[in-house]
Amino acid sequence: MWLFYELLLDSHPGPFVMCTTEGRPWRRSNFRQRFWRPAWDGTDPDNPYSPEHTPPILPWFTFNEGRHTHATWLAEDGIPEVARRARLGQKMKGMARVYDHVTPVMRQQILEALEARWLGSVGSLTARERSEVLAWFPHLRPVLARMGIAPAREAISMSSPFDH
């Protein structure tokens, strides 16, 4: 199975999926301030007519909420507790810490479950949203085609009838 994460890793020289332009992992505080806060709060929220204004995307969503959602998805997908805890950087409690270990099969299950969720989310995008994603990640075009997700027609303008 072709994985989206492999594509992301192949798209830049560093070993991390989400990294700085220098290829280093984001520190939580930097990632929070540069990416999460603008998504929660928007930019220039007190001046909605400013060219710098962007409305909030996820005003209720927090970094911790993302961890809870991720853990819940893994549980829904039947991922064993030891693998879920390891993915979230947690340790098993009691004797399970001694006896339970994450196996390569469990890691593959996690990748397949997250890949299925990603494909489902891409498949549910509107034509305009798919066009935006492909503008950001043009190397996804052949991958989506192989997976049966037709790329949206390129918009002629923002008022194109093909955006809807």
Is the pLDDT at 16 greater than 50? The verdict is: yes
β-strand partners of 43: 54
Give pLDDT, residue 20.
76
Is the pLDDT at 2 greater than 60? The verdict is: no
Give the whole-angstrom CA distance, residue 158 versus residue 4: 28
C-alpha distances in Å from residue 64, one per residue of 41, 60, 79, 124, 146: 16, 11, 20, 25, 35
Domain regions of the chain by residue span: 4-147
| pLDDT band, residue 78 (cuts 50/70/90) | very high
| pLDDT band, residue 154 (cuts 50/70/90) | very low
- Residue 56 CB coordination number (10 Å): 15
- Of the candidates 106, 104, 61, 111, the one whose C-alpha atom is nearest the C-alpha of residue 85 is 106
**What is the arithmetic mean of pLDDT over 96-122?**
85
Q: Where would I find the H helices in the chain?
A: 4-10, 28-31, 37-41, 63-76, 81-87, 96-99, 104-123, 127-136, 141-146
Give pLDDT, residue 127.
82
Selected residue with higher pLDDT from 2 and 157: 2
| pLDDT band, residue 156 (cuts 50/70/90) | very low
Selected residue with higher pLDDT from 118 and 81: 81
Give pLDDT, residue 4.
63
CB 115 within 8 A of CB 91: no
Angle, helices 104-123 vs 63-76, to 10°: value is 110
pLDDT in tens, 32-76: 787 778 877 888 878 888 888 888 877 777 778 888 888 999 999
